[in-house]
A = this chain, B = another copy of it.
Amino acid sequence: MISEACYELGSKSSVIREIFAFGLKRKEEIGADNVYDFSLGNPSIPAPASVRKAILELLERPAEELHAYSPASGDGKVRKVIAESLNRRFGESFTAEHIFMTCGAAASLNICIKALVNPGDEVIVFAPFFPEYRCWVEAAGAKLQVVQPRLSDFRIDFHALEELLGPKTKAVIVNSPNNPSGVVYPPEDIRRLADLLKEKSGEYGAPIYLIADEPYREIVYDGTEVPYLTRYYRDTLVCYSYSKSLSLPGERIGYIVIPGRLTEYGRVSPAIAGAARVLGFVCAPVLFQQVAAMCVEDTGDISAYKKNRDLLVKGLSEIGYSCIAPQGAFYLFMKALEPDACAFCERAKKYDLLLVPSDDFGCPGYVRIAYCVAEKTIVNSMPAFQRLMEEYR
């Protein structure tokens, strides 16, 4: 009698949640140091000191101003600071008007999807992909179309993409650096993607939107360049979150970039505001709007993630595991030792290794290892990975 769809969504056992619960139980039983929990994408490095400093500074303002409602799109000065930072970094020409503050990346993405799609439309994603995409796209009455990756390097399989593009395609979501593969699409892939979408938009007589999901933009290694998609393709919306760059995942603060050059800017911009309203977002949390502006180009100490990545890639390769080389984010995508990744993860649990099977990411046969953990967790886990490997030999 109540909403079946919401009930299903809330009651079906989430694999990650189950692993997390198992981990909590095991940590109580054998001590936290003896459980190698790679299940969650919760940043392990603290927010930069500038965040605490900013909050202390903000607390000097009158409380009735500091905590007041902002406009639905966010504080005008905050949006200006963010626009100017993007202009500086990516040679753009955004103004405050082009920035819409949100309650983090989930809000950014869901608002964009809701604003753009009509029932019957299609949204294309590249596997492996963040599982919530499906839930938001389907809630908007649209169909999720999944492009499988080029398995050699997990970059875009353009042949597969072209087969799925059609007159019903309303948007394509690009998540680079990618959760869960850690892959960053290079400029030549983005250029080719942009050319293809331009061509198809022209052919179908309506813009196909590119939605850039970028919470991991700042977390890249070895000087890898992450192309800024608005520079390549006119009809791009950028969804950003400070969850990972400032290690503030629980504070729910991010933004959408709605470039003025969008073909349908005069319609998309109000639709974004309307979508936020219909989803029940009043304004992004105001204290952290100010914090974001005051720390706009800061990050936590990313080098800790790089060290973890290097340790993990080297250790696992030496044991004989096969991994996708990660250039960004804090996930390693590793081939399971049997076709059924869920069964593999069950076996791994015997060694207190908590890994996430790739099935929900639309790309079976792999596991996600979240290496936003203490360095010692990685070092100490190696014998467990070794024993797991031996079980399969």
A contact residues vs B (CB 8 Å cutoff): 1-11, 40, 42-47, 51-52, 55-56, 59, 62-64, 67-70, 103-104, 106-107, 109-111, 114-118, 132, 135-136, 139-140, 170, 206-207, 247-252, 264, 267-275, 277-288
In the complex, what distance in Å separates the CA atom of A269 from the CA atom of B2?
A: 11
The answer on a CB contact under 8 Å between A2 and B42 is: no
The answer on a CB contact under 8 Å between A67 and B274 is: no
- 9 extra interface residue pairs, beta carbon distance < 8 Å, beyond A5-B274, A11-B274, A67-B249: A1-B206, A40-B69, A46-B64, A55-B55, A107-B280, A135-B278, A250-B286, A285-B288, A287-B288
Residue of B nearest to A141 (CB): B3
The answer on a CB contact under 8 Å between B6 and A247 is: no
Copies in the complex: 2
The answer on a CB contact under 8 Å between B281 and A103 is: yes
The answer on a CB contact under 8 Å between B69 and A250 is: yes
Q: Tell me, rounded to whole Å, the shortest Cβ–Cβ distance linking A197 to chain B.
A: 15
| Chain B residues with CB under 8 A of A40 | 69
The answer on a CB contact under 8 Å between A274 and B42 is: no
The answer on a CB contact under 8 Å between A270 and B11 is: yes
The answer on a CB contact under 8 Å between A3 and B275 is: yes
The answer on a CB contact under 8 Å between A283 and B252 is: yes
Residue of B nearest to A62 (CB): B46
Q: Tell me, rounded to whole Å, the shortest Cβ–Cβ distance linking A123 to chain B.
A: 13
In the complex, what distance in Å separates the CA atom of A210 from the CA atom of B281?
A: 23
Most chain B CB atoms below 10 A, which of A63, A110, A117: A63
Q: Which of B47, B69, B264, B279 is A280 in contact with, Cβ under 8 Å?
A: B279
